[in-house]
């Protein structure tokens, strides 16, 4: 009986803003710690993948026999369920998954069109996977081309022109809906990347000099305030007190649950709360308080202006750039399509080589092993070269070449499918 061909197809599974409201997709959000646990689990199962989790989406890209392998990992390390996933998620396969990754990196799938912050998040996702050891040659080549395409879209189109992101939209919302916003007390809770972007946008687009920052890690605030003296540090232990002094509260922490509740808020005080976190960090029940205006990332993403309308005209240019790099990726794939069969052939011949040399040493004690290895290695190289030449000249498909190998040698061949 011939060994089974181990065929793994490239899949993308995604829970994002298109089908899932912030409350629902928050259940599928993955903390950094859980991302690392998921990657370690995948490595143990010999599944090559990387994980992306942002305020707008949670996605897994990877090679699997069936997408359920990826879905199971996602649900295991998040608060989501398979039942809910089947209702609100999207699964892309092979070329569709490849195309989706290119579009993500270019900002074409961002909740705010052209939001370029996704590139940094993708780089982090890939870096984590590579460190754990869940990438492979195909993922690394694809990711390299994805970043090149993204850079070209950024530099040669106006898809990301102007300043439009969730953090920017938050400031625009304040300016549009708050009178005297330059004199109101603003408290920013959380100083991750989103919090830092928000602080910088507050400084760039308002003249407010009463902005306080609070964070669980106070050293981080001290360092930020040292470099940005226009902001004031507040102590984490005084969180409730500082909230009582603020007219505008911006929450952007990495917590995986609600951390701002009714007990933190004076129910008789008028306040605007912007929750930029995923999952939500502010109790949605606060919306029931007529004095509180609570706005989440989905509401902020609806902030539209001439910038977005202008960006939409750049989509065809971005699509052309993506198509160019996708073609380059599949040309690379085409050059490598016989690699599994050739590698299997070479491995089998080397096994025969070692067995033959070991047998010859027992028969001839004066055998020069180095000379024997040199001669037989050259023979292996000539045979594999001839084999590749034969496959190319006769236009033999990868499946046919694999079947040849299975017919001649007792080998397992792992195939990565990114096309079908």
Which of the two residues, 414 and 50, has the higher pLDDT score? 50
Statement to judge: residues 184 and 288 lie in one domain: yes
Q: Please state the separation of Cα 328 from the chain's center in Å.
A: 22
Q: Cα(first)–Cα(last) distance of the chain, in Å?
A: 27
Residue 65 in domain:
yes
Q: Would you place residue 365 in the very low, low, confident or very high pLDDT band (cuts 50, 70, 90)?
A: confident
0.95 cut: is pTM over it? Answer: no
CA neighbor of 86 nearest in space, from 77, 74, 101, 96? 74
Tally of domains in the chain: 3
Q: Same structural domain for residues 46 and 157?
A: yes
- Range with lowest mean pLDDT among 160-164, 206-210, 354-358, 384-388: 160-164
Mark whether 19 and 114 lie in a shared domain.
yes
Mean pLDDT for 325-354 is 81
Does residue 420 lie within any of the structural domains? no
Same domain? 126 vs 225: no
* Range name among 2-16, 213-227, 310-324 with the lowest pLDDT average: 2-16
Q: pLDDT tens-digit profile of 259-297?
A: 999 999 988 899 999 999 988 999 999 999 999 999 998
Confidence of residue 415 (pLDDT cuts 50, 70, 90): low
Query: Are 330 and 392 in the same domain?
Result: no
Residue 62 in domain:
yes
Residue 169 lies inside a defined structural domain of this protein: no
Distance CA 103, CA 123 (A): 15
Distance CA 346, CA 385 (A): 10
| 178 counts as catalytic | no
- Contacts of 399 by beta carbon, 8 Å cutoff, 6+ apart: none
Name the pLDDT band for 4 (thresholds 50, 70, 90). Answer: very low
pLDDT tens digits along 367-401: 888 888 888 888 888 887 887 777 666 655 555 66
Angstrom distance (rounded) from CA 185 to CA 407: 76
Where residue 186 sits, what CATH number does that domain have? 3.40.50.720
Q: Quick one: 145 and 28 in the same domain?
A: yes
Does the residue 170 lie in any domain?
no
Q: Is residue 416 part of a domain?
A: no
- Can you give the CATH number for the domain in which 326 is found? 3.30.460.30
Mark whether 272 and 320 lie in a shared domain.
no
Confidence of residue 301 (pLDDT cuts 50, 70, 90): confident
Whether 192 and 121 share a structural domain: no
Q: Do 78 and 58 form a contact (C-beta atoms < 8 A)?
A: yes
Q: Which of 55, 75, 178, 199 is catalytic?
A: 55
Whether residue 18 is found in the same domain as residue 128: yes
Per-residue confidence band for 236, with pLDDT thresholds at 50, 70 and 90? very high
Q: Let me know whether 344 and 322 are in one domain.
A: no
Per-residue HEC secondary structure of the chain comes to CCCCCEEEEEEEEEEECCCCCHHHHHCCCCCHHHHHHHHHHHHHCCCCEEEEECCCEEEEEEEECCCHHHHHHHHHHCCCCHHHHHHHCEEEECHHHHHHHHHHHHCCCCCCCCCCHHHHHHHHHHHHHHHHCCCCHHHHHHHHHHHHHHHHHHHHCCCCCCCCCHHHHHHHHHHHHCCCCCCCCEEEECCCHHHHHHHHHHHHHCCCCCEEEECCCHHHHHHHHHHCCCCEECCHHHHHHHHHHCCEEEECCCCCCCCECHHHCCCCCCEEEEECCCCCCECHHHHHCCCEEEEEHHHHCCCCCHHHHHHHCCHHHHHHHHHHHHHHHHHHHHHCCCHHHHHHHHHHHHHHHHHHHHHHHHHCCCCCHHHHHHHHHHHHHHHHHHHHHHHHHCCCCHHHHHHHHHHHCCCCCEEEECCC
Would you give the distance in Å from CA 16 to the centre of its chain?
Answer: 12
In a domain? residue 173: no
pLDDT at residue 305, rounded to an integer: 58
Question: Does 281 lie in the same domain as 152?
Answer: no
- Mean pLDDT computed over every residue of the chain: 87
Top pLDDT among 412 and 8 is at 8
Identify any residues that bridge with 14 across adjacent strands, giving them in sequence order. Answer: 59, 90
| pLDDT at residue 202 greater than cutoff 60 | yes
* pLDDT tens readout for residues 161-180: 665 678 888 998 999 899 89
- Which domain covers residue 402, as residue numbers? 339-411
Q: Are residues 258 and 223 in the same domain?
A: yes
In a domain, 418, yes or no: no
């Amino acid at each position: 009986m011939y060994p089974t061909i181990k065929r793994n197809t490239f899949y993308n599974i995604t829970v994002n803003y298109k089908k899932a409201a912030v409350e629902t997709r928050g259940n599928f959000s993955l903390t950094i710690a859980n991302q690392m646990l998921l990657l370690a689990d995948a490595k143990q199962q010999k599944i090559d993948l990387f994980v992306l989790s942002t305020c707008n989406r949670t996605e897994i890209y990877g090679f699997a026999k069936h997408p359920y392998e990826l879905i199971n990992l996602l649900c295991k390390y998040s608060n989501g369920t398979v039942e809910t996933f089947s209702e609100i998620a999207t699964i892309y396969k092979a070329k569709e998954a490849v195309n989706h990754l290119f579009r993500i990196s270019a900002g074409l799938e961002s909740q705010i069109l052209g939001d370029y912050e996704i590139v940094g998040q993708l780089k982090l996702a890939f870096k984590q996977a590579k460190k754990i050891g869940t990438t492979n040659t195909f993922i690394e080549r694809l990711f390299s081309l994805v970043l090149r395409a993204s850079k070209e879209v950024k530099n040669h189109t106006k898809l990301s022109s102007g300043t439009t992101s969730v953090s920017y939209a938050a400031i625009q919302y304040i300016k549009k809906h708050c009178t005297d916003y330059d004199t109101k007390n603003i408290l920013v809770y959380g100083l991750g990347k989103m919090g830092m972007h928000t602080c910088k946008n507050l400084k760039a687009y308002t003249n407010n000099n009463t902005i306080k920052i609070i964070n669980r890690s106070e050293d981080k605030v001290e360092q930020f305030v040292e470099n940005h003296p226009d902001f004031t540090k507040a102590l984490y232990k005084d969180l409730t007190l500082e909230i009582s002094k603020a007219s505008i509260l911006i929450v952007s922490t990495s917590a995986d649950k609600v951390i701002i509740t009714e007990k933190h808020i004076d129910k008789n005080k008028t306040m605007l709360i912007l929750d930029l976190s995923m999952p939500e960090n502010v109790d949605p029940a606060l919306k029931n308080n007529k004095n509180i205006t609570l706005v989440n990332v989905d509401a902020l993403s609806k902030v539209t202006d001439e910038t977005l309308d202008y960006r939409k005209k750049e989509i065809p240019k971005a699509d052309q750039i993506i198509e160019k790099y996708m073609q380059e990726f599949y040309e690379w794939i085409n050059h490598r399509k016989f690699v599994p069969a050739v590698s299997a052939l070479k491995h089998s011949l080397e096994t025969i080589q070692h067995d033959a040399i070991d047998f010859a040493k027992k028969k001839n004690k004066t055998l020069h092993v180095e000379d024997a290895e040199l001669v037989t290695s050259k023979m292996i190289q000539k045979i594999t070269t001839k084999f590749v030449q034969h496959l190319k000249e006769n236009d033999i498909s990868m499946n046919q070449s694999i079947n040849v190998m299975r017919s001649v040698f007792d080998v397992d061949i792992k195939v990565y499918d990114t096309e079908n």
